[in-house]
Amino acid sequence: MNRREIRSPALVELESKAIPYRLFIHAGPITSLEQAAAERGQAPNQVVRSILFRLAKDSFCMALVAGSSQIDWRGLRRYLNQSRLTMATPEEVLRVTGYLPGAVSPFGLPAPLPVLADPNVFEPDEISLGSGVRGAAIIIKPQLLIATLSDLSIQPLIKSQG
């Protein structure tokens, strides 16, 4: 896979908005967050996971979480005013985002979707996110998320340490 072969709605959105980013292409399959970070020359907390949650039958939201941080489910339910929520199935992820699990990006979504980001996403100078294509990642300044994602809300989403 080379850079010219990679096209996704995420990359199209960033390019159409003139948002600066770098595309990183892994040499082979990725089996862990730590491997992805190491190959990208990053610390694990610079790798941002885009996690899709189902709130109701056809209601979803995305959470951006850095590294291996664990979601605070109780806090997320309270913030979303939901008594129940679940992680989306792989089929729902593809249907709602247009991306396969492991390649999900908050950019280039087919329809507007609320996106929540934990504050720790904004701590590093640069982060990497799904590009919409497995084996490739978008490397970007985290502050550009705020400029690019109109439905972004910054909320504590992870369990506190201790």
User: What digits encode the pLDDT tens for the residues 104-132?
Assistant: 999 999 999 999 999 999 999 999 999 99
pLDDT at 162: 47
Is a pLDDT exceeding 90 seen at residue 90?
yes
Q: Over pLDDT 90: what percentage of the chain?
A: 77
**Tokens 């396969």 appear where?**
100
Is a pLDDT exceeding 60 seen at residue 161?
no
How many C-beta neighbours within 10 Å does residue 95 have? 14
pLDDT at 58: 85
